[in-house]
Amino acid sequence: MANRAQPISALAGIGAAVAVLVLCATLLPLGAVFLRAEEASGLRAADWAAIRFTLLQAALSAFFSVLLAIPVARALARRNFTGRRAVITLMGAPFVLPVIVAVMGLLAVFGRNGFVSHALGVFGLPPIEIYGLHGVVLAHVFFNLPLATRLILHGWLAIPSERFRLARSLGFSPSDIQRHFERPMLRATVPGVFLVIFLLCTTSFAVALILGGGPRATTVELAIYQAFRFEFDLSRAAYLAVIQVGICAIAGIVLLWRAAPQTLGAGLDRVTENQAPKSHVMLVQDVLAIGLAAAFLALPMLALVLGGIGDVLGLPEVVWRAAIRSIIMAVLSAILAIGFALPMAALMARRAWRLGVDVIGALSIAVSPLVIGTGLFLILHPIMNPTQLALPVTVFVNALMSLPFLLRALAPAYLQAERSQGRLADALGLRGWNRLRHAILPRLMRPLGFGAGIAAALSMGDLGVIALFSSPSQSTLPLEMYRLMGSYRTNDAQGAALVLLFLSLALFWIFDRGGRVNAKA
Amino acid sequence: MLKLDAVELTQGAFTLCADIDLAEGARLAVMGASGSGKSTLLNVIAGFLIPDQGRVFLGGKDVTRSPVPERALSILFQDGNIFPHLSVHDNVALGMSPSLTLDRAARERIPLALAQTGLEGMGDRMPADLSGGQQSRVALARVLVRDRPLVLLDEPFAALDPGLKREMAVLLDDLCSQASLTLVMVTHDLRDAEMLCSEVSVLEQGKIALQRGLAGIRDDRPEALVPWL
């Protein structure tokens, strides 16, 4: 067989080293967790309850997210209207929204003192009780309804337009179209979407921390945190972490077996050529679906802005210090994530390495940040006080967590850049930094900016590892906000939430915009 | 100038076998159906692929295993010849220095090459501000400053309209004549070959089925070229 005259580049070599580092950073903490777990004395009744609650809330969250997403996706697929693009953009917003901010917004609408409870009071009805299972499920639906909608919308838009034309020529009614096109598509798409959301909800920590708790509403991740912070029982935390890994592994394997749905959003701005007659009933259905979904997503944020805007200036100094710390950590985390992802993307441009590097990149998110945090704590604890490394460890783990998203954005663009200009670069002898500067980076500016924005926003809103490691003097803005909520300083918490919301969106916008401005290809 | 000595290269079920000997200043068109091995042959000469057997000589030097940039040749691809974020000047300069650090003599060659290719005074422009024809000329100017004796053309006119095609062929013909460049061009179109080349090789399933001068070819109608006549 012919040799491809393509020596491994320095960047791809660095990528191999980074992939090994990422693998070690995931597997070593996991190993530490497994070793320590052997000392634990089996499952208690509370642990069984946590497992049951984790599975139940994940199943309910996935079920309602998918159920509600179907009419919204259908409406978006068959209606073209002014503002459609804005609605689809709104569907992507929760991805960069800090969990604690969203929960604060949901409390402002659905909490005991929220709009909805006040409205119910007018009719003499009792206020909504948001804490517990239904609050956790509500928050998860808030985060995952948009994801489910986008994934199912992809399924709708993937139905070839010729089929709708054929249906029209054959005189299909709307119910015929449902039966022959839409239901088969949903049967193929929905199970994968359900499993993705189920998996995401099993690792959700911050929502359960704020809206759950107590013996009847504790997830496994929350139980790990409680074993750490309240009991300092590291063996039990490790044992629970092993259970968490088991749940994620089973869900992940089922997801891979069932084939994960593709993509997070390209090509959603077109409409299907669904030329079946559109009745008034269908119009009302679509308006209601889109209107209610948009209100459900926008109202909490609107309530947060209106409720918090007057409290921002009066925020205590500690909040501003935490905000500055969070910004620095988010920027460092984004830089570190890019530093990991770019060489790994260079390695992924080679077919033989692609799958392996992709799996390594996704491991961190599959294992869950809290489990990695637990493992790192166990490794560091005998040597030093882990709280001294709270901030660097949080930056590092946050960078790991954003790696799968960055690789998804960077790897195809890197491959495309190599395909389109790699041979020219070879012919001109462009290697190393010169190759990166002239042939690759100019074509990577958009995904780099987008990826860095995602990494920064995710880090900005993180309330996972920092909750395990931090001391009172090292809090980040989400942690400070959680403390304000815990001490019932609701006004300050709302003001802090608004600052956090603004900073997260601003960081995402600045990075994303920076990439677009410098993009040349 | 260019010699392929019993070169063999296998890719899956496909095997390329080639013996070629070109004198300095020769101009060879490589033709053949899709999948016949034209581009593979060009990639072997360029160094993108290394043959399993046989040797490649350039100017008498064995370059069979030499990396692409160390071979005394320039390449013009069908597309993707330009870096869109670099000015015309820098795109040309890359032909001399990958780091864009140029000495005085190198800097002076750029406006000269731009003038020769009809791009005088356009050094500061960005590729997006140029027409398709002008972009092709930028790539040609880079070939000139590289000053390598062999030029490989990989279907260089495929994306150009007939007028532009003729204009580029005339320009290439002039430049190759002035600098006594040897030329190997892969093409699907016999008329392109006739505009620029003096010899033709026809590949069939990886083997050279015909190699001869282009003069009188339409009268002789050799069997291997019938589909293009």
Residue B171 lies in a domain: no
- Give residue A214's pLDDT band: very low, low, confident or very high (50, 70, 90): confident
Place of tokens 């003069």: B215
Q: Under a CB-based contact definition with an 8 Å cutoff, are residues A18 and A340 in contact?
A: yes
> Tens digit of pLDDT for each residue in B28-49?
999 998 889 998 999 999 998 9
Quick one: average pLDDT of A404-421?
Answer: 89
Q: Single out the residue in B147, B174, B205 at which a domain terminates.
A: B147
The complex scores an ipTM of 0.74
Asked if pLDDT for residue A429 goes beyond 90, the answer is: no
Asked if B93 and B140 sit in the same domain, the reply is yes
| pLDDT confidence of residue A258 | 65
| Position B192 in a domain | yes
Q: Are residues A20 and A44 in the same domain?
A: no
For residue A2, name the pLDDT band (cuts at 50, 70, 90).
very low
Residues whose CB falls within 8 Å of the CB of residue A264, separated by 6 or more in sequence, listed in order = A92, A95, A147, A150, A408
Answer with the one of A277, A304, A331 that is the final residue of a domain: A304
Helix axes A390-427, A10-37, angle to 10 degrees: 150
Residue % of chain A over a pLDDT of 70? 93
| A10/B contact by beta carbon, under 8 A | no
Mean pLDDT of A385-412: 89
Q: What is the 3-state secondary structure (H, E, C) of B18-48?
A: EEEEECCCCEEEEEECCCCCHHHHHHHHHCC
How is residue A436 written in tokens?
């990166």
Grouping H, G, I as helix, E, B as strand and the rest as coil, residue A440 is helix
B59 and B156 share one domain: yes
Residues A270 and A413 in one domain: no
| CATH number, domain with residue A218 | 1.10.3720.10
Query: CA-CA distance, A401 to A26, in Å (whole number)?
Result: 10
Helix or strand or coil: residue B56?
strand
Q: What is the pLDDT of residues A488-521, one digit of tens each?
A: 888 899 899 999 999 999 999 999 888 777 665 4
> Does A74 have pLDDT greater than 70?
yes
Please write the tens of the pLDDT for every residue from A353-397: 888 888 888 887 777 788 888 888 889 888 888 888 888 999 999
The partner residues of B61 in beta bridges, in order of sequence, read B58
Same domain, A118 and A158: yes
Q: Which of A245, A272, A304 is the last residue of a domain?
A: A304
Based on the fold, state whether residues A299 and A361 are members of the same structural domain: no
- The alpha-carbon radius of gyration of chain A (Å, integer) is 24
The alpha carbon of residue B191 is apart from the nearest alpha carbon of chain A, in Å, by 26
Residue A482 counted as domain residue: yes
Nearest chain B residue to A423 by CA distance is B48
Q: Does A417 touch chain B (CB under 8 A)?
A: no
Overall average pLDDT of the A79-108 stretch: 86
C-beta of residue B115 within 8 angstroms of C-beta of residue B157? no
CB contact under 8 A, A420 and B80: yes
A4 located within any domain: no
Position A278 scores a pLDDT of 65
- In a shared domain, residues B228 and B119: no
A199 band by pLDDT with thresholds 50, 70 and 90: confident
B170 located within any domain: no
Lowest-pLDDT range, A311-315, A382-386, A416-420, B222-226?
A: B222-226
Burial of B173 (0-12, 13-18, 19+ CB in 10 A): middle
B227 close to A (CB below 8 A): no
Q: In one letter, which amino acid is A339?
A: G
User: How many CA atoms lie within 13 Å of A451's alpha carbon, on the beta-carbon side?
Assistant: 29
What is the pLDDT at residue A196? Answer: 86
What is the rounded CA–CA span in Å between residue A288 and residue A122? 24
Spatial distance between the Cα atoms of B51 and A181, rounded to a whole number of angstroms:
51
pLDDT of res. A478: 94
Interface of A with B in 426-465 (CB under 8 A): 426-431, 434-435, 438-439, 442
Percentage of residues in chain A with pLDDT exceeding 90? 33
pTM reported for the whole predicted model: 0.78
Q: In residues, how long is chain B?
A: 229
The pLDDT of residue A404 is above 80: yes
* Chain A contacts in chain B segment 34-53 (CB below 8 A): 46-52
| B7 and B53 part of one domain | yes
Q: How far is residue A133's CA from residue A54's CA, in Å, rounded to a whole number? A: 10
The CA distances from residue B213 to A220, B49, B57, B216, in Å, are 79, 27, 22, 8
pLDDT at A265 over 50: no
Tell me whether residue B178 is in a domain: no
B77/A424 touch (CB, cutoff 8 Å), yes or no: yes
> Is the same domain home to A23 and A72?
no
Average pLDDT over residues B186-196: 88
As a whole number of angstroms, the distance between CA A98 and CA A458 comes to: 7
Q: Are residues B129 and B89 in the same domain?
A: yes
| Interval B7-15 mean pLDDT | 91
**Contact status of B215 with chain A (Cβ, < 8 Å):** no
Nearest CB neighbour to B98, from listed A421, A430, A442: A430
Which range is most confident: A68-82, A85-99, A230-244? A68-82
Polymer length of chain A: 521
| Pairwise CA distance, residues A63 & A195, whole Å | 10
In this prediction, residue B34 carries a pLDDT of 87
What is the nearest CA distance from B135 to chain A, expressed in angstroms? Answer: 15
**Does the pLDDT value for residue B10 go beyond 80?**
yes
Identity of the residue in B11, B52, B75 whose CB atom sits nearest the CB atom of A427:
B75
Task: Supply the range of the domain harboring residue A505.
Answer: 10-32+311-521
Q: What is the 3-state secondary structure (H, E, C) of A63-75?
A: HHHHHHHHHHHHH
Residue A340's alpha-carbon distances to A25, A30, A78, B93, B143, in angstroms, are 12, 20, 41, 32, 37
Whole-angstrom Cα distance, residue A58 to residue A220? 12
Question: Does residue B14 sit at the A interface (CB-CB below 8 Å)?
Answer: no
Q: How many domains does chain B have?
A: 2
User: CA A515, CA B18: separation in Å to the nearest integer?
Assistant: 47
CB B90 within 8 A of CB B100: yes
**What is the pLDDT averaged over residues A21-34?**
89
Which pLDDT belongs to residue A174? 77
Q: What is the pLDDT of residues A314-341, one digit of tens each?
A: 899 999 999 999 999 999 999 999 999 9
Candidates A424, A430, A520; nearest CB to B80: A424
Residue-wise pLDDT for A275-310, tens only, equals: 445 678 888 989 999 999 999 999 999 988 988 888
Q: Where are the alpha helices (DSSP H) in A383-469?
A: 390-427, 432-435, 441-460, 465-469
Instruction: Assess contact for A420 and A444: CB atoms under 8 A.
Output: no
CA–CA separation, A269 and A150 (whole Å): 11
Q: State the Rg of chain B over Cα.
A: 18
Minimal Cβ distance to A427: which of B9, B69, B84 = B69
Q: Tell the burial category of B91 from Cβ atoms under 10 Å away from its Cβ (0-12, 13-18, 19+).
A: buried
How sure is the predictor about A260, in pLDDT bands with cuts at 50, 70 and 90?
A: low
Element holding A479 (H helix, E strand):
helix A477-486
Residue where a domain terminates, one of A271, A304, A337: A304
Whether A416 and chain B come into contact, CB under 8 Å, resolves to no
Cα separations in angstroms, A34 against A242, A249, A374: 6, 14, 11
Residues of A in contact with B39 (CB under 8 A): none
- Please tell me which residue of chain A has the smallest CA distance to B7: A2
Comparing A109-113, A472-476, B206-210, which segment has the lowest mean pLDDT?
A: A472-476
Kindly report the CATH number assigned to the domain that includes residue B24: 3.40.50.300
Are residues B104 and B41 part of one domain?
no
pLDDT tier at A1, thresholds 50, 70, 90: very low
B12 and B38 share one domain:
yes
Q: Is the pLDDT of residue B208 over 70?
A: yes
Residues B99 and B129 in one domain: yes
Range of the structural domain that residue B92 is part of: 73-147
Instruction: Quote the pLDDT of residue B50.
Output: 92
Chain B residues with beta carbon closer than 8 angstroms to that of A7: 67
Domain identity same for A281 and A323: no
Name, in order, each residue with C-beta under 8 angstroms of A13's C-beta and a sequence gap of 6 or more.
Answer: none
Smallest CA-to-CA distance from A55 within A155, A222, A198 is with A198
